[in-house]
Structure 1
Amino acid sequence: MNVLEKYSVNCGVKIGRPAPASSYFPLRDDKYIVLDGRNKYPTNIYEMFSDVLGYIKESLERENIKIYSFHADEKTILLDTQPFINLTKKQEAYLIKNSMLVVSCDNLSTYYASAFDVPSLGLYSAYPAACTSPLWGKEHVSIESNRAGNLPSYGMEETPKAINFINPEDVANIILEKLRIDTRVDIETIYIGDHYPIKVVEVVPDFIPATNFLQGKAINLRADYHFHEERIVHWLQGRTVNLLIKNPINLNLLKYFNKNIVQLTVNINDTFSEEYLRQVIEGGTPLEIFCEDKERLADVRFQLFDFNIEESIFKSKKDLDESLNKFNKNTQFLSGKILISEGQKYSCLEAKKQKNVLTGYPEVVYDTSDFWKELDHYRLFNNI
Structure 2
Amino acid sequence: MHVLESYALQNDLKIDKPFVYEKFFPLAIDKYITIDTSNLGTSALAYDHWQLVVDLIQPKLKEQKIQIIQLGNKNDTPLQNCYMAIGQCNFNQKAYIINKSLVHVSPNNESMHIASSFNKKCVALFSNNSFPSQFNPYWSEKERVEILSPDTTKKPSFNPNETPKSINEIKPERIAGKILNLAGIVAFVPEFETLRIGNAFNKKRVESTLTQLLDPEKLGVSSLIVRMDLNFNEEALKVQLKASPCSVITNRPFSTEILKQFSKRIVELVYYVEDDDIAGVDFINKVAEKSINCLLRSRATGDELNDYKLAYFDYGQVHQIPPKGQQDFKELKDKKKLYYKSNHFIIHNNSFYTSSAALLADEFFNIGVEDPSERQNKGFPSMEHEPQPVIDDPLFWEEEEHFHFFVRK
Q: TM-score, normalised by structure 1?
A: 0.90
Q: Gaps (5+ residues) in structure 2?
A: 363-376
Say which of 226, 234, 240 aligns to 2:231.
Answer: 226
Deviates more, 1:171-180 or 1:156-165: 156-165
1:208-247 to structure 2, matched below 5 A, reads: 208-209=213-214, 217-247=222-252
Equivalent residues of 1:105, 1:124 under 8 A apart: yes
Once residues 309 and 162 of structure 1 are traced to their aligned partners in structure 2, the CA distance between those partners, rounded to angstroms, is 31
1:149-188 to structure 2, matched below 5 A, reads: 152-181=156-185, 182-188=187-193
Q: Gaps (5+ residues) in structure 1?
A: none
Can you list the C-alpha shifts for 1:74-112, whole angstroms capped at 9, x where unaligned?
762211111114223222111111111001122111101
Once residues 33 and 220 of structure 2 are traced to their aligned partners in structure 1, the CA distance between those partners, rounded to angstroms, is 36
Equivalent residues of 1:334, 1:362 under 8 A apart: yes
Equivalent residues of 1:316, 1:375 under 8 A apart: no
Secondary structure at 1:269's aligned position in 2?
coil
Task: Look up the match of 1:89.
Answer: 91
Once residues 262 and 362 of structure 1 are traced to their aligned partners in structure 2, the CA distance between those partners, rounded to angstroms, is 32
Task: Give the aligned CA root-mean-square deviation in angstroms.
Answer: 2.6
Residue 72 of structure 1, CA deviation = 2.1
Task: Look up the match of 2:125.
Answer: 123
Alignment identity in percent? 26
Residue 32 of structure 2 aligns with an amino acid whose one-letter code is Y
1:369 corresponds to 2:391: no
Residue 238 of structure 1 aligns with an amino acid whose one-letter code is A
**Taking structure 1 as reference, are residues 171 and 191 closer, same or farther at Cα in structure 2, changes over 3 Å only?**
same
1:309 corresponds to 2:317: yes
Once residues 294 and 157 of structure 2 are traced to their aligned partners in structure 1, the CA distance between those partners, rounded to angstroms, is 32
Secondary structure at 1:6's aligned position in 2?
helix
Equivalent residues of 2:299, 2:321 under 8 A apart: yes
Task: Look up the match of 1:290.
Answer: 297
Secondary structure at 2:105's aligned position in 1?
strand
Equivalent residues of 1:316, 1:372 under 8 A apart: yes
Task: Look up the match of 2:379.
Answer: 357
Once residues 211 and 46 of structure 1 are traced to their aligned partners in structure 2, the CA distance between those partners, rounded to angstroms, is 26
Once residues 74 and 170 of structure 1 are traced to their aligned partners in structure 2, the CA distance between those partners, rounded to angstroms, is 26
Secondary structure at 1:297's aligned position in 2?
helix
Task: Look up the match of 1:19.
Answer: 19
1:6 corresponds to 2:6: yes
Say which of 349, 354, 358 aligns to 1:347.
Answer: 354
Once residues 214 and 2 of structure 2 are traced to their aligned partners in structure 1, the CA distance between those partners, rounded to angstroms, is 56
Task: Look up the match of 2:288.
Answer: 281
Equivalent residues of 2:312, 2:318 under 8 A apart: no
Residue 57 of structure 1, CA deviation = 1.2
Secondary structure at 1:142's aligned position in 2?
strand
Can you list the C-alpha shifts for 1:359-382, whole angstroms capped at 9, x where unaligned?
422112122233222111101001
Once residues 64 and 378 of structure 2 are traced to their aligned partners in structure 1, the CA distance between those partners, rounded to angstroms, is 34
Equivalent residues of 1:238, 1:260 under 8 A apart: no
Can you list the C-alpha shifts for 1:124-181, whole angstroms capped at 9, x where unaligned?
226322333222212222222357x765454453444333232111111111111121
Residue 35 of structure 1, CA deviation = 0.7
Q: How many residues align?
A: 382
Task: Look up the match of 1:132.
Answer: 135
Deviates more, 1:14-23 or 1:220-229: 14-23
Can you list the C-alpha shifts for 1:295-336, whole angstroms capped at 9, x where unaligned?
3333322343334324334662146421233521x2111101
Task: Look up the match of 1:379.
Answer: 404
Say which of 85, 91, 110 aligns to 2:112.
Answer: 110
Say which of 263, 279, 293 aligns to 1:258.
Answer: 263
**Taking structure 1 as reference, are residues 200 and 212 closer, same or farther at Cα in structure 2, changes over 3 Å only?**
closer
Say which of 334, 337, 340 aligns to 2:341.
Answer: 334
Residue 215 of structure 1, CA deviation = 10
Secondary structure at 2:20's aligned position in 1?
coil
Residue 290 of structure 1 aligns with an amino acid whose one-letter code is R
Task: Look up the match of 2:52.
Answer: 51
1:35 corresponds to 2:39: no
Once residues 100 and 212 of structure 1 are traced to their aligned partners in structure 2, the CA distance between those partners, rounded to angstroms, is 36
Once residues 101 and 348 of structure 1 are traced to their aligned partners in structure 2, the CA distance between those partners, rounded to angstroms, is 37
Residue 364 of structure 1 aligns with an amino acid whose one-letter code is P
Q: TM-score, normalised by structure 2?
A: 0.85
Secondary structure at 1:227's aligned position in 2?
coil
Task: Look up the match of 1:207.
Answer: 212
Equivalent residues of 2:215, 2:244 under 8 A apart: no
Residue 283 of structure 2 aligns with an amino acid whose one-letter code is Y
